[in-house]
Structure 1
Amino acid sequence: MLKGINQWCYPEGTSLENVFAYSKDAGFDAVELNLYRPDGIGLTLDSSCKEVEAILRLAESYELKLRSLSTGLLWEAPLSSNDVSTRERGRMIVKKQLELASVMGMDTVLVVPGVVDEKTSYSDCYHNSQTEIRELADIAEQTGVHIGVENVWNKFLLSPLEMKRYVEEIQSDFVGVYFDVGNVLQFGYPEQWIRILGNLIRKVHVKDFNRGVGNISGFVPLLAGDVNWKNVMMALYETGYDDTITAEIPSYLISPYALANETSRNMDVLFNCLIRTERA
């Protein structure tokens, strides 16, 4: 497995040079970049081929792999919206992700499928987002890049059985799951999700969660929460997952370098759980 860290783990405004330098020095194998608005740092909706190639060369100079591409832009333009123009913007965002990922040799893009709210019913969210992702699946196949539908706090796809059905109904080998371990803990057990989703899982995010807090403030650094990491790593081993595991943790206010080092050491603990499992 590759040990990865998301660009969001560093304070907003951190240059890609520093993101790569901190990550390499901390012992990471891969960095997950994010797609931003045109005024963002790194990959943006306006990134040119020349800029993308420069970013790729920079990552290679630090001997870091770029395996997946995330974005927060779909919260603003959900594929589930009942507004056609909003869905169109969301579709454009995912198309840009797929395009950039293909150029950079990434094999997966993270996609938040939709949001259930007062304006968008659960059934509308299900139907609208599936319709959009089916269309995007054709582009994913053309680019050779997988769409990873992420489980997030969006009041949608609240069980592993439903997530599995939702993805399988799209009927594309290029649509799977981007599984986030910490996002599940308030509502279930990540190891159960992993076993049910099985080979649908394309990539994995890790962060921890404190059930005692029970809200968005409950997300904490690895090993500081209530995730049973031994069970999680055992489940990943049983399903044959052997790809990147990427930390996605809120940045530290004082020292981004300290976060990278601490997270890397904590991920080594997780990987050692896996090694002991393999030897058992």
Structure 2
Amino acid sequence: MIIIGGQGPHRWHDYHSERVIIDLLLLGTPIADIAHSTGAGEEMIRFRLRELVGHLTHHYFEDLSREGWLSGILTDDVTGIWTRRYGFIRLQQTIKSATRYNQPLSVVFLDLDGFKLVNDQHGHAAGDRLLRQAATLWRAKIRDSDFICRWGGDEFLIVLPCASYEAAAAFAERLKAETALELAFSVGVAEWHAGELPEALIHRADQAMYADKRSRQVPGRHNHEKSPSAAKPRVIGCNQERRLTNFRP
């Protein structure tokens, strides 16, 4: 049973002229019956139900995290953003969705340059302050559908659903141009390839990040992975509010 507020059972309405969402109550009603009574396609209804359950699950776990029930599992103690463990779970879920609906997906891997020197010379308190600053600034730049997690040490991962390589690379460049940190940072971008495991996707982004770090002094060089799909944008089957092609936070 899913209860979402509204005026009566089995009432549906359009949202932004194309979205069908639950208005009050679904209680054991077959999807075929809902599709017949509302005129919406069964696949659309299934998609909206999965989306709704995902949002409810996300907010439920966030509430548990705020109350301390899942401290250290979902939320990183230093930065307040998601942990690597939970970020990886969410990436797996996002890849499943991209596979099913033939949507693009890109990731941005970030690493603070010279972070070890900060810890060595100024202490871990200074390092933690820098990590919190970076996490706060980067989290403010992403959409509601995106997410960021601390991957480990001074490394961060941003996942961008419905984002082509070109859009993600442009977003990464804006991060570098608009983020005011005491340290420089290196960035790697990779677009998911159909059938690719999440570990392989992250590895490519990580390698692109190291290429950026090594080539920092080479003028005019683009420091992102060049994927086969980079020749043309690929934003397929995404709702308008979730597209990133022209995204600017």
In the superposition, the TM-score normalised over structure 1's length comes to: 0.27
Larger radius of gyration: 2
TM-score normalized by the length of structure 2 = 0.29
